[in-house]
């Protein structure tokens, strides 16, 4: 199903162009949504940045074009990711990356985690279900590859969204711990034992007026 095709052949060039278009749309949609990569959910892509990420994707386009099924699956996943990015890119641009991130985090924190995960499951599992149906009902590699790309897209959305939520909850837990530790220091620490505090502590019934 995924036989190697010769470099420079007609099919190789077609799949290389397909990958270049799909990966290009992913890059373009990401740039429109978050030009500074503040909202990039993939930590590896965020660390690489635009230049190294672009070079890596050029290599992916030339390398994966040798395998038709893989090229179609990756292209399908990339186009779906780009479509998802474009859906909210205008809002991210209008609000600004930092403001949108803070607003999005606030909405997540105000939502019950069970409701959020239920909606995430509905989003990803329904998409993966369509991909699985294409795989099970197809006999040629093209629909199967598209189905694999849809499943890969759903898995990527679920993974990176859960990763972001886990990081958010971990950061919130750490802030709460620091807050409790600071409150304990303020109550029991030496910072409150000033001369004013000592003089107030001496105001007992045995020493009226002191």
End-to-end alpha carbon distance in the chain: 93
Give the helix ranges, DSSP H, for the chain. Answer: 10-33, 43-64, 68-95, 97-109, 113-137, 141-188, 195-201
The model's confidence at residue 25, banded by pLDDT at 50, 70 and 90, is very high
CA 119 – CA 126 distance, rounded (Å): 11
Among residues 61, 54, 72, 90, the alpha carbon closest in space to that of 153 is found at 72
The greatest distance separating any two alpha carbons of the chain, rounded to the nearest whole angstrom, comes to 101
pLDDT in tens, 109-161: 899 999 999 999 999 999 999 999 999 998 888 999 999 999 999 999 999 99
Distance of CA 95 to the CA centre of its chain: 18
How much is the pLDDT for 203? 42
Mean per-residue pLDDT for 38-63?
92
161-191 residue pLDDT tens: 998 888 888 877 777 777 666 655 555 554 4
Domain ranges of the chain: 10-171
Report the candidate in 57, 52, 50, 47 with the shortest Cα–Cα distance to residue 24.
57
Rounded-to-integer distance, Cα 123 and Cα 159, Å: 13
Backbone region of residue 31 per phi and psi (left: phi > 0; alpha: psi in -120 to 50; beta: other values): alpha
Task: Look at residues 145, 143, 130 and name the one whose alpha carbon lies nearest to residue 64.
Answer: 145
Mean pLDDT of 42-71: 93
Q: How far apart are CA 168 and CA 178, in angstroms?
A: 15
User: How many Å apart are CA 130 and CA 150, to the nearest integer?
Assistant: 8
Q: What pLDDT score was predicted for residue 88?
A: 92
Mean pLDDT (the chain) is 85
CA 56 – CA 73 distance, rounded (Å): 18
Cβ neighbours around 33 below 10 Å, total: 23
Please tell me the distance from the alpha carbon of residue 169 to that of residue 182, in angstroms, as a whole number.
20
């Amino acid at each position: 199903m995924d036989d190697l095709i010769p470099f420079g052949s007609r099919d190789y060039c077609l799949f290389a162009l397909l990958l270049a278009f799909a990966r290009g749309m992913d890059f373009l949609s990401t740039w429109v949504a978050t030009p500074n990569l503040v909202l990039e959910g993939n930590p590896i892509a965020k660390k690489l940045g635009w230049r190294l990420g672009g070079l890596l994707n050029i290599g992916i386009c030339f390398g994966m074009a040798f395998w038709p099924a893989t090229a179609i699956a990756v292209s399908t996943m990339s186009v779906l990711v780009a479509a998802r990015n474009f859906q909210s890119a205008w809002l991210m641009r209008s609000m600004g990356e930092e403001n949108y991130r803070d607003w999005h985090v606030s909405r997540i924190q105000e939502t019950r985690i069970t409701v959020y995960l239920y909606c995430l499951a509905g989003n990803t599992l329904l998409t993966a279900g369509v991909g699985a149906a294409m795989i099970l009902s197809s006999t040629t590699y093209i629909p199967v590859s598209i189905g694999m790309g849809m499943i890969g897209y759903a898995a990527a959305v679920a993974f990176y969204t859960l990763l972001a939520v886990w990081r958010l909850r971990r950061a919130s837990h750490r802030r709460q711990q620091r807050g409790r530790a600071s409150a304990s220091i303020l109550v029991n620490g030496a910072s409150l034992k000033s001369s004013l505090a000592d003089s107030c502590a001496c105001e007992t019934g045995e020493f009226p007026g002191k």
